[in-house]
Chains A and B, each alone.
Chain A
Amino acid sequence: MGKPLLIRDLSKAFGGVRAVERVDVEVQPRHVHSLIGPNGAGKTTVLNCVSGFLRPDAGRVVLQGTDVTRWPPHRLVAAGLVRTFQITTLFGELTVRENVELAVRSRLGQNLDVIHQAGRLGQARNEAEEALTTVGLLDRVEARSDQLSHGDKRVLEIAIALALNPRVLLLDEPTAGMSRSEAERIARLVRAIADKVSIVLIEHDTEIVMSISDMITVMARGRVIAQGTPSEISKDAEVRRAYLGVVEAEMG
């Protein structure tokens, strides 16, 4: 069994724009591996290519030793590669429970089951509650998911992802639009999940990135410009210029 996730030489262009160019990322077991960079650096495009929602022009994606390049999303999920979205995309009309149960039943291969009645499948029910307990959302289990607070919605997204039993979890800006305390709640959750799952995290909040990452890959204009531990990255001159400097300038 190889590394949880290897991204090799990944490239993707939209028309003439090279959104992602020859990107290499290597995710170690049980690491939180952050992908950072200014807007338009190509982070989400990398994530879309890896998770099967976009077809890369070139390069390879290897999941635990298996080449999964250009696999469709549902196959990748079955193989243990799960993602969340930058913009919350829950099944808004359904309850919290139903959202998670759909994921559990999907994992258990019950999507085509016409024999049973969905509400009576105990295993899906139990595992859904388990995932909700992990993220601390069990008290909202019967609420309609579009009536949750923004923070709870993002937490529910993570619960759904966990219900799929991922080996590798790709999180696209899980703290976007959150208050400080909510963002810290997510950060703690991500750190806790990393006990069992390797995580690729796209995140804008530098403080959170520095505190919870094991490894950081910095992108700018579609390319990887630096890779290293948080302390290495914070010392890197090029990163300061391309990214952190921008943030500092904005703040100052």
Chain B
Amino acid sequence: MRRDVVSKIAPAPTAASLAEAFTARLLFLSSMALLLAFPFLGANEFTVTLLTEGLIFGIWAMSLDLLAGFTGLMSFGHASGLGLGAYTAGYFAQHVTSEFLIALPAAEIVVAVLAVLLGVVVGRISGVAFAIVTLAISQVLLQIGIAWLPVTGGMDGLIGVPVPTLFGYKLESGESFYLIVAVILILVYLALVRLANSPFGHTLQAIRLSEQRAAAIGINVRLHKCAIFVVSWLVAAIAGTLLVFMKGGTTPMVFNWYQSGYVLAVTMFGGLGTLLGPLVGAIIVTFLHDQAISLFKAWQFVFGLAFVLAVIFFPAGIAGIAIRTWNRLWESRC
């Protein structure tokens, strides 16, 4: 299907491959620097906010990539982790403290407990069953969000979540919040790349390629599927926490199936199993979405059509195109 990109083991270094690695690192570092400096390069408030949203969306898409791309588990209900993170962090900020470094772990703990309980169940299934069960879970959460009035605020959702603080300093301006999001994004990305290249990452890859074969070499398939399900939800909950602080609230619609479909489409559009692809895809789609909404009334139709065409003509996604171009560049040079 696709060559795994993240976990490719490097062959013995040659001068050319060292140069390539150096360029890749330089490119990576400069884009990180650009990301951090973005709000101070004369971008207006609106663009900064839009990019903040794109980065949060990117964290969410990468968390789905852990399941769909790495492990081959197509989740049709990936709004669950995001929504749970948003609700628990929002509720915590309203009732206890809006200190970001306390609200985030608090949300993570709640999500972890639920994810472990559900992971024990979904770790046993694959394929279509996994898709349907994850979809069902998100729809159940949606109904709970609507019905559990005293906690979730019902259909109105959580309103008036306070501005987050960091070590007591209020993150009131768009720039300061943007910086928090960008730093977290970079940390999450680096951690996930490490995870992809770790023995655990390779175990997941083995499970994706053949669960039967994986079991035959002694891999406890259920345990590892459960583990990555939990990790995936925890990362999604980071995105959810950032989202609820960014919007100052959330509604139960955060759980809705079209949210799950949207993030799955964007992750595939970016390139499954590449991390960077879904991240870049999410940022691009966020900006395209903003443009399309003002240009076309039927933007969803346009987006849907673009997605279908992208899947047909570029099945490896944006990352696939980027990698092919990159390789061609280096081949022509050496």
Contact = CB atoms under 8 A, between A and B. Distances in A.
A74 interface: yes
Contacts of B202: 98, 101-102, 105, 118
A80 to B, nearest CB: 10
Interface stretch (B7-15, B17-25, B112-120, B261-269): B7-15
Nearest to B227: A112
A112 B206 CA distance: 13
B215 to A, nearest CB: 4
A100 to B, nearest CB: 9
Interface in A63-113: 72-74, 77-78, 82-85, 89-95, 97-98, 101-103, 105-107, 110-113
Contact of A53 (B199, B212, B223, B224): B212
Contact of A113 (B198, B210, B212, B215): B198
B252 to A, nearest CB: 34
B203 interface: yes
A72 B203 contact: no
Contacts of A115: 198
Contacts of A92: 209
Contacts of B224: 111-112
B255 to A, nearest CB: 29
B168 interface: no
Given A118-B197, A118-B202, A83 B216 contact: yes
A252 interface: no
A116 interface: yes
Given A112-B203, A118-B197, A74 B210 contact: no
Contact of B218 (A93, A97, A116, A164): A164
B198 A114 contact: yes
A51 B213 CA distance: 12
B218 A107 contact: yes
A114 B256 CA distance: 33
A211 interface: no
Given A115-B198, A118-B197, A118-B198, A74 B220 contact: yes
Given A73-B215, A111-B219, A113-B199, A93 B9 contact: no
Contacts of A142: 11
Contact of A102 (B11, B197, B217): B217
Contacts of B1: 93
A94 B210 CA distance: 12
Interface in B182-204: 194-195, 197-203
A117 B3 CA distance: 19
A238 to B, nearest CB: 34
B215 A72 contact: yes
Which of A85, A105, A114, A116: most chain B Cβ within 10 A?
Answer: A114
A139 to B, nearest CB: 16
Contacts of B215: 52-53, 72-74
25 contacts: A53-B212, A53-B215, A74-B215, A74-B219, A74-B220, A84-B216, A85-B213, A93-B3, A93-B4, A95-B9, A97-B9, A102-B202, A102-B217, A103-B217, A105-B203, A106-B218, A111-B203, A112-B224, A113-B199, A114-B198, A115-B198, A117-B197, A118-B201, A121-B199, A160-B217
Given A78-B218, A102-B217, A114-B199, 12 more contacts: A53-B212, A53-B215, A73-B215, A89-B212, A89-B213, A89-B216, A91-B210, A95-B9, A117-B198, A118-B202, A119-B10, A164-B217
Interface of B: 1, 3-4, 7, 9-11, 194-195, 197-203, 205-206, 209-210, 212-213, 215-221, 223-224, 227
Closest 9 CB pairs of A and B: A77-B218, A73-B215, A113-B199, A119-B9, A103-B217, A106-B218, A110-B199, A111-B203, A74-B220
